[in-house]
Structure 1
Amino acid sequence: MQSFTIPLSNNATVAGIHSIPNPAASPLHRPLIVGLHGGTYDCHYFDATPDYSASRASIAFGIPFVSIDRPCVGGTSSFLPVPGGSNFNQETGRWLHKHILPALWSEFGNGCNCIVLLCHSLGVMGGIVAAAMHAQDEKPRYPLGGLIVSGMGDKASPSANNSPPPVYEKVGSDHVAMPVDVKDVMMFKPGTCSPEVLAHSDRLNTVTPVVELQQYPTIWLPTWRDSWAKHVAAPVMFALVENDVVFEANEEEIRSCTAAFENSVRVDGSLVKGAPHCMELSYWSQGWYARCFGFAMECSVSLVC
């Protein structure tokens, strides 16, 4: 994918990478898919290697794909410290809805009729907040066609509850890094990803805001249903993975999590058997991407038919 940096309406900047296929190869109804990475990764999470990249599906289906560094990570501007009266998740969603997604729509939305958010792990929080804000905005500056979620559940897994928290290395005053050997054990059950991907673990490892790690269990998990998910109106595709060491993942949890989107026009839920936390980097990668792009295209058609 190709790198970009574009200015925002709040005098900040957003950085990321994109795959923009020739419009001649695109379907009649074309979404713009925007990837939001999880913690300890940046925009390259969705473009780890040629074989484990959203660009393959982007080119195959003729659908543009953009992956950004989320606010406070990589080349995208930071809002830290979190403004008073807000929290990290809320501020991320506000930046997405007010500034980042309108800028991406203006820059990359030509020939598309909506944005579909593809969110992984901690990136899910800002994505759901942005989708909720979009639904409550009388004059949104971009059309939201759908929301895709993976790697974020509602309850900590039994292994997470029974294990000491991972040890992070402090990087500056606001960020931490996870040692790669610890991270690989958490993200991948043995045998679920290619040695090719693990060879890039150092390159893909990125610092994460401390406050995000602190607030997702204390602020996000207790409130996400009533504060945000119930306001989402766009279609939702929600997936948990069976071998997630972070979140409890079973059919009951799928039913519980999808029920939170009570005002969405469509909610699809699935438990992906065998897949690890970082499904997009695993052997399930291209099958999952094919499903995500298919859902996004369905969302695009549903807006006009």
Structure 2
Amino acid sequence: MAQPLSLKLADGTIVTGSSFLKQAPLVTQSSPAIPLVVLIHGGSVDCDSFDIDEKHSVRPLSEFLGVPVISLNRPGYGGTTPLPPATDSKETYIQRQGRWLHELALPAVWTESSKTLNATSIVLYGCSVGGGVATVAAGLAGRSSPTYKLSGLVLSALGCSPDTAPMSRFFGDNYAITGKVIEIPHEFRQKQAAGPHAALFDVSVFSSRRGESNTSDAEVYDINIQWPTYWSDYAKDIRVQVLYSVGDADTLWHLNADTMHEFGRAFKSSPWVESRLMTNVPHHIEYSYQCSGFLLRVFGFALECAASFEIQEGRNRQ
């Protein structure tokens, strides 16, 4: 069962979310290193989007493997304090949220959890817009000496060439930021999140409407218009292993072999990058029939990252 999370950050604001912290694994791991998997949700959904129901949740694998998981609400979602209005900042919506994650949220999570959970490093997992936020945070971490230990990055439902048509209905003729809240209709949400093919997902995943939230035009504008202009500047500075996955039925991105290669090769400082276009998978991999297999791969990757990171730290001390 997920436990509610609320942490006070260094600037006095609050980050909320959910945690899966049971550590009584049913398997014995080969390495003593324990990753803390931190989840960053996408747009128009909150932290519960990683725990929709028994079939679509990080919880079973977290408990089985003994890998702690924390799912955060980004600023403006759930009870997390919204970021103050941007005045003179030249940073975009996603860039500001990435800086918040790097400078405030991850240090607080690490301080709170590293000792009590015996975690040895963080593996960051961002979905869709959350993947953009995670990319910015990981890039900033690569440029500095962060107060937290980052060993891996998982990205899903993200790319370098967005298809602006699906979300244009919420803006009219021209994309522009007005500060308005965007309410995504449930039917439209299901179509875009799960793709056009009913065979790819169990429609029951949408029955509870769990995890659904409103979003802002600034968020949608950024991921559709601004993101392509700056994402690679952060990707090139990421120094941890990267697992990048996107579904071939994703309707929010232009996807082909060239875009997949372009995205993957941007991580020039990463020691290992896997870039894969998954077959018969919609935008929200976590909502699809392939959720279980995908999450098992994510947790396996997290264990690999934590073990490699711990070994390298020991070698560096010698």
Q: So what's the TM-score if we normalise by structure 2? A: 0.88
Shift of 1:156: 2.8
How many Å separate the matches in 2 of 1:187 and 1:14? 25
Q: 1:90 aligns with which of 95, 108, 116?
A: 95
After superposing the two structures, state which structure 1 stretch, 101-110 or 61-70, moved more: 101-110
The reply on whether 1:109 has 2:117 as its aligned counterpart is: no
Partner of 2:286: 280
SS of residue in 2 equivalent to 1:204: coil
* Alignment partner of 1:244 out of 247, 250, 255: 250
Deviation at 1:109, TM superposition (A): 2.2
**Residue deviations 1:254-276 (CA, integer Å, cap 9, x gap):** 21110010111111111110000
Preserved contact between residue 175 and residue 207 of structure 1 (Cα < 8 Å):
yes
Q: Secondary structure at the match of 1:149?
A: strand
Higher mean displacement: 182-191 or 255-264: 182-191
Q: Does 1:209 align with 2:213?
A: no
Distance 1:23 1:142, change over 3 A: farther
2:300 corresponds to: 294
Q: 1:148 corresponds to which letter in structure 2?
A: V
1:194 to 202, 222, 226: 202
Which of 49, 55, 64 is the equivalent residue of 2:53?
49
Residue 81 of structure 1: how far off its partner (Å): 1.4
State the TM-score, normalizing by the size of structure 1: 0.92
Structure 1 equivalent of residue 314 of structure 2: none
Supply the distance in 2 between the matched residues of 1:68 and 1:245 (Cα, whole angstroms). Answer: 25
Paired residue secondary structure (2:279): strand
* Map of 1:152 onto structure 2: 158
Taking the TM superposition and a 5 Å limit, the aligned residue runs for 1:119-158 are: 119-138=126-145, 140-157=146-163
**Contact 2:136–2:234 (CA under 8 A) maintained in structure 1:** yes
* Alignment deviations for residues 6-36 of structure 1 (CA, whole Å, 9 cap, x no partner): 1000110000001012256573211000010
Change (3 A) 1:223 1:16: same
Mapped contact 1:73–1:209 kept (Cα < 8 A): no
Q: What amino acid sits opposite 1:193 in the alignment? A: F
Deviation at 1:215, TM superposition (A): 1.8
Aligned-pair CA distance for 1:164: 7.0
Letter in 1 for 2:110: W
Shift in Å at residue 40 of structure 1? 0.7
Partner residue of 1:17?
18
* Residues 26-83 of structure 1: per-residue CA shift (max 9 Å, x gap): 7321100001010010000000112210111111211001101111212111114124
2:64 is paired with a residue whose SS is: helix
2:100 is aligned with 1:100 = no
* Structure-2 change in CA distance of 1:164 and 1:18 (3 Å): closer
Aligned structure 1 segments of 4 or more residues deviating by more than 6 angstroms:
none
- Cα offset, 1:165, TM superposition: 2.2
**Where in structure 1 are there 5+ consecutive unaligned residues?**
none
Aligned counterpart, 1:2: 3
Q: Which amino acid aligns with 2:168?
A: P
What RMSD over aligned residues (CA atoms) do the two structures have, in Å?
1.8
Partner of 1:167: 170
Distance 1:24-1:182 versus aligned 2 partners, 3 A rule: closer
Q: C-alpha separation between the residues in 1 aligned to 2:101 and 2:41?
A: 13
The answer on whether the counterparts of 1:96 and 1:130 sit within 8 Å (CA) in structure 2 is yes
* CA distance, structure 1, for counterparts of residue 148 and residue 216 of structure 2: 28
Give the AA of the match of 1:90: Q
In 1, are the aligned partners of 2:25 and 2:64 still within 8 Å (CA)? no
Structure 1 pair 52/284, CA: closer, same or farther in 2 (3 Å)? same
Query: Any conservation in 1 of the 2:167–2:220 contact (CA below 8 Å)?
Result: no
**Range 19-28 or range 43-52, more displaced:** 19-28
Q: Distance in 2 between matches of 1:108 and 1:254?
A: 35
SS of the residue corresponding to residue 168 of structure 2 reads coil
SS in 2 for 1:275: coil
Label 1:24 to 1:275 Cα distance change in 2 as closer, same or farther (>3 A). closer
**Cα pair 1:237 1:268 within 8 Å, conserved:** yes
Counterparts of 2:18 and 2:255, CA distance in 1: 31
Equivalent position amino acid for 2:170 in 1: V
